[in-house]
Amino acid sequence: MDEFFRQNYFTINYAVEIIAALTGLICFKKYKKTAVSYFIGFLVYAALVDCLGSYPVIFARLNVYHFIEGTVFEKNYLYYTLLWGIGTALFFMFFYSKILSHPGRKRFMRVAAALFFIGALVDLFLNVETLGANNRIGIFVAGSFLVLLCVCFYFIEVLESDKVLTFYKSIYFWISSVILLWYLITTPLLFYEIYFSTADWNFVILKWQIYLAANICMYLSFTIALLWCKPENN
């Protein structure tokens, strides 16, 4: 089983991401007048970011690894911190600002997004030369907290409105529920990132198992929601 995860983890992970992205593109016309169109764009973005995240391996296979050797791009820490740690948090804050209606909450999210972006860039600037598993945890945890806050705002608005009567029909409800579960499962793993090393394959395999299970459930849920739900006014 351990050998199976070593050889097939990335293939399975990329497959479910691509399935969700392709489903989104197929359903784009159906949702093009709603905020879901932005979410479909994010699914494509997420698939591309993950697939290109293995660029150090790609460079090595193409015999051009020397172009990044000895630079901050030699490892993909900076890449994932910028495009996933920061980019994903900012996207979801933008996405929820499109579907929330309470002006105070939307204003709070805009301010929080600006502060998070500035703080993350300052942190990266100060630690870019030594960026690794340890000093990028703060950015990822802060981003996760903001995403979870956006999801909570959405659920509060559902409870405050008539949407609570038909919440199970809303694609925004299913997206929010899946995101909530994914972040609750994966965020605690960030604190153990320092142990993610081939020197401890037991932890590596365990982390892969958790992430793979979470990703399969998340992206397949997105796929089903896009196909099953109907467009709605934001």
What phi and psi values does residue 34 have, to the nearest 5 degrees? -125, 175
Q: Is residue 197 a contact partner of residue 191, using CB atoms and an 8 Å limit?
A: no
pLDDT confidence of residue 227: 92
Tokens of 181: 């579960």
Three-state SS at 67? helix
Count the helix, strand and coil residues of the chain and give each as a percent rounded to the nearest 5. Answer: 80, 0, 20
- Flag the least confident range among 9-18, 161-170, 178-187: 161-170
pTM of the model: 0.89
pLDDT confidence of residue 131: 63
Tokens of 140: 């990822």
Q: Look at 176 and 201; give whichever has higher pLDDT.
A: 176
Confidence band of 225 (pLDDT split at 50, 70, 90): very high
Q: Is residue 10 a contact partner of residue 54, using CB atoms and an 8 Å limit?
A: yes
Q: pLDDT by residue (tens digit) across 108-137?
A: 999 999 999 999 988 888 876 666 656 678
Tokens of 69: 């050797």
- Report whether pLDDT(214) > 80: yes
- The CATH T-level fold of domain 2-228 is Rhopdopsin 7-helix transmembrane proteins (1.20.1070)
Q: pLDDT by residue (tens digit) across 82-93?
A: 899 999 999 999
Confidence band of 1 (pLDDT split at 50, 70, 90): low
Q: Where are the domains of the chain?
A: 2-228
What's the rounded Cα separation, in Å, for the pair 58 and 66?
Answer: 12
- Per-residue burial over 34-46, b if 16 or more Cβ lie within 10 Å, else e, is bbbbebbbbbbbb
Q: Look at 207 and 157; give whichever has higher pLDDT.
A: 157
pLDDT confidence of residue 209: 85
pLDDT confidence of residue 178: 95
Q: pLDDT by residue (tens digit) across 46-56?
A: 999 998 888 88
Mean pLDDT of the chain: 86
pLDDT confidence of residue 65: 80
